[in-house]
Amino acid sequence: MKTILPFIISGIATGSIYGLAGTGLVLTYKTSGIFNFAHGAMATFAAYLYYLLNHDHGLAWPLAVAISVVVAGPVMGFVMEPAARRLQSRFAVRSHRRHWSFASAFGLRASDRTSDPV
């Protein structure tokens, strides 16, 4: 049992992460009609922001988590919401929804790497 227990715990943690990501994607698609490919990029951006604040700037981890989740999450939502509203109109072309989603995902990924010196 001691040899299996780490794999069970690891599997539960990994499955929980995949479950939350899948639930977020389904919720976004069902409410807006747009399959948001930037969903993972937004989470990655928050993780990079946490690392930048905690590791590079020396902020305490509870404050870095609060800024990453409570501040960065809503800001990204408020920035992306007007574009999503315009894409929901009956005049919007369906392919524009996909292009917006890909563009926002790539934009977030590019902004993550701007502070990386490598």
Banded pLDDT at 118 (limits 50, 70, 90): very low
Backbone φ and ψ for 84, nearest 5 degrees, come out as: -65, -35
The structure tokens listed for 29 are 């698609």
Looking at per-residue pLDDT, the higher value among 89 and 42 belongs to: 42
Looking at per-residue pLDDT, the higher value among 104 and 57 belongs to: 57
| Residue 14: pLDDT over 90 | yes
Q: What share of the chain is helix, strand, coil (3-state, %, to 5)?
A: 80, 0, 20
| Residue 101: pLDDT over 70 | no
State the maximum Cα–Cα separation within the chain, in Å, rounded to a whole number: 59
